[in-house]
Each structure stands twice: as C-alpha cells, then as structure tokens.
Structure 1
C-alpha cells in the first residue's frame, strides 16, 4: 500500500506540473510587450516566441505601448495567474518608473513573478567625433578634465526626463564631480541626431542605437556603462574602471502575474532559458548588440529588486518626476 500510495502521489505531482500549461498547446500564450513594434525588445520577444513553439505551443506577441511601458506592464499584473498571459519587464517598467511616476497602476515589487532575464545591452558614452577632435577629447579622462577646466560649458542630451540616458548622465556627473547641462529630447533618436549635429556635447546612449554611427566614425565611444568591457565594443573601457561599481545597463526579461503557480513558472522558465541558450538565438541577438542572460526565476526576481533599489536613489538625485 505504501508503494502504491507513493506512486499515486508522484503521478499527482506530475499532473499538477504539466496541467497548467498542457492546455497552452491549444490556447495560445499571450506575451505582452509594453512598447511599440519594431524595437529591440519587440524583435527579441518575437524571436523567442518562435523558438518555444515546440515546447509551449503558439506564443502571440501583443504590443501595448504607452505611459513609458506602464500600460502593458499593468495589463500583465492584472491578468489571471495561469501562465497564459506573460509579459516583458524592462529597466523602465520595473526599476525606474516606480520612482519616476507620481502614481503607478501596479506594484513592480509585488505584482509580478520573474520567469527569466532575457538580455542586457550596455549603454555607451559617446561624443561627436568632429567636436571631440576639435576639443582634443580622446579619452574619458580628457572629457572629465575639459569639464573641470571649463565649468558650465558642456551639455548632454537624452531621450527625455527620467530616460535611461538622463539617469546615466546624472550618475556620471555625480561620480566625476562635473557639471553638464541636461537637454531632454522627445526620444532617443532625436537626441542622437542632436549629438550628430553638434547641438549637444555628449550622450549616454544604448549601444544598439549608437553602434552604426560609432562604426561610421561620426561618434566616438569613450566608455561603456557595463561593469566589464563589452565584447561588442572591444577596446572601449567601462566607466567602472574609473568609478568602481558604476553600472547602468539596459535590460529586459519575462514575468508572469504574481500568484502564478511555481510549476508553471518553472516550465515557462525552462522553455525560455533553453531558447536563450540556443546558438541561433545568440547569433541573432548579437546583431542587436544584445547579450542573452538566461537566469532562474529567483535570480531574476532578486536582480529586479536590486535594480529598483539602485534607481530609487538615481531618480531622486536627478530630480526627474512625471505627474
């Protein structure tokens, strides 16, 4: 009887693990991307959705842009915790916005269950190449020295108040003990165009966006914001070599609504981390300057909590606020 009881318990446990997502083969999983189609986050989400078809069934991408990503994230937070609606958690939605927005429709720390981090993309401090040559700025130290010798003469651009470029710029100014006027633009693309036109002196931009103009010689990369040297930009030192601990990468990953059963999270996590580890995925992501970072659900939850704590101070120091 004991053996029979054990076998029945094992069978029940296996059924409980498989059941929540077995019907996902018939009912498509909805993956909510809280940004418009066509960007790096959307492209990587679609690539993974294609790779998990054999294990999870059809995954449909649902773009719900608006309010800095808050609309799409809120949709996930308020969905049924059954594994059939999952979403993208990004630097903005799960680390910056909780401190940037006066009112939030969701609690980034309580309303989600991590599945896996997907990628990280370094940001890069870039200057207009022609302007850098004129001012004899060839290294990060040259930029800092110029700023200290010419107080009030430097400015930098970003995609808007509270954007990643704005917050990274404020972190850099604090660490370096320099002043540079922040000029916000309506998006990262206009900010880069302003840098190329010489309207601003430097930007801290997403590497994926800046790389084409770095390769073309129009922008000069002085430092990356990752803790270590980026293999995607060899020879460019990280800011952490000058200011230990400096790290402000762009990242995103997958989350489910809080309360989603752990067996469901485990099954989703295995399918997506296997997809992230596939050589084809890594090659495709490399073209986007995105490094795959497959993690366990627990690791991703801990990472997001640490990022929220970091950005709380950064956003407060920047003075950025959205009412």
Structure 2
C-alpha cells in the first residue's frame, strides 16, 4: 500500500532536485495522481523556507511552489510507510556517491519501482544488482532546466523516452504495467510528453553520443557549443569523436543510422551558444559525470574491440580535470590521480 493507503495517489520519493528534478516534481504533483517527497541538500534551507521560484516553458510562472514534502535526508521506510516510486535525478558521479547505497533506505524490496532519470549508458545494472526483486525504469530526458538556489529556469520543453531495464526475475507484464503507470502520471497534465520505449538503450546511445563528445570537449576546451565549432573543433574533434561513438554503439547492437553525426551536429545549431552541463560543472568547480557518460562507453569499446583514439584522449583529459576538481574539494590528494579500470592500448 501507499503511505496514505490511497492507491490512486502514488507516493513518490525524488532524490536530487536540481533543474531536471524540480521540474519532475512539478509534473508528478500536477498530475493529481502523486504526492512527491523531495530530498534536497545545498538548497534545502532556501526551498523549505521560500519554496521554488519557477519560470517554465511548460508550466508558466510558479512562485513559492512546493511539493508535498521537503526533506534534507533519505527517509527510512517501514511497513506502514512505503514509496511506490523512488525517482533518482541526482548526478551520477561514482567518485563521490554510491547511488544504490544512497537510495537503499527508501526502497522496499519487491515493491518500490526505481526510476533513473540520469545521464549515461549502462547505469541500470548496479541498481538491479542491489535490488534484484524491484522493477527498474530508465528515462532519457531532453529537458532544458537549470536551478540556482531554489530558482528554476526551464526553457526547453520536457520530453522523455522511458523504458524498462528488464529484470530476469520479474514478469514482463509487471514491468510493463509499472512503465505505463509512471508514464501516465508524469505526462497526465499534458504539458510534458513521455514516449515509452521497447528498448531504452537505443535512446541512451543516441543521447550519450552527443553528451560523450560535445559535452566532454566543451568541458576540456572551456568553449561553448558555438565557439568550439567556430574555432575549428567540429571537423577535428566533434565529428571524429561522434563517429567513434556511433561505431561503439553499432558494435553493441545499436545502429544509430548513417546520418547520426549530422543529426547530432544539427541538433546544436551554431546560433545557439550555450555551455553544456560538464562545462557548467567546471565553471562551478563541481565534479563531472565522466564515468557514466564516457567511461562506460569506453568499457563497451574495449569489450567489443572498437578502437577509439579520439575518445581515449578525451577521457584522459577529463580525468585530469576531474582530479583537480576533486582535489580542490579535498576528496583526493594533489598527487593522486582518479582511479580507472580502463586498460590503454
């Protein structure tokens, strides 16, 4: 049963209310089918006191907006208080956080559905390993939303591909029903759209092709999406890197099409000069999502025997920057390099 015993009102715990997470809270709450408990960290005091200030292309202006419950720590579930869904929108940075360990107190074995709305490729298996009796849903989000101290700017429509990461121990109908239920709740107010996918990994590969190249190389060069092309990076770095990424995906069983590089380049028009998320992290001195966005890609390349000279060097440079960012926060020593299990050839 849900916490309040009302099966029509799903109880949702959302962890990580930056821009993406905050707008997910809005969509879920405005469905009138879910009550959201959100876990905040750096912005907890501000949001608890004043709520979110939101300017949204989908939902309009929302002042002092709050979800049902705001917490500063993961709650411990028990028999009379369980969550139907645990939604994870926090950044996936294994150097500083362990997602399965983080969410474990809130997950009821065999009951809670875990929804990952995060960047990266093959991020689901560690969750399935930690929670072998739970449904795992995987979401690829295309929203444009940014949070700063409780203020949300949402300027690109909320659209998501959502699919099941299949658990061999579960009936596929159970997984499918949970997929349809969450998609219905999330998109109930019709301001946002959710497309359910038969194989979510195809869409993860499409997005990581852009993120693993454009995002990474902007972070390294500290050039925005337009400047890196103006200064010659499109044909020397971006296109070759994307071609390597497409070859890895194809070797993994996902043919993204012969025009995928052109599509991804055109997806980021040169007139739109913006600073991708990794570059914003570097600007703020925050660690980056290197492993899930690029490290996991290169692990697939090693497994499939695909040579990746451009992406290998991209990863090496990112690891050096990551070490600097972690050292500044006292998380590694100045002489210590971020560990990696990748073998260079």
TM category (shorter chain) comes to 0.3 to 0.5
TM-score (norm 2): 0.31
Q: Which has the higher helix share?
A: 1
Q: Which has the larger radius of gyration?
A: 1
TM-score (norm 1): 0.33
Higher RCO structure, 1 or 2 (CA under 8 Å, sep 6+): 1
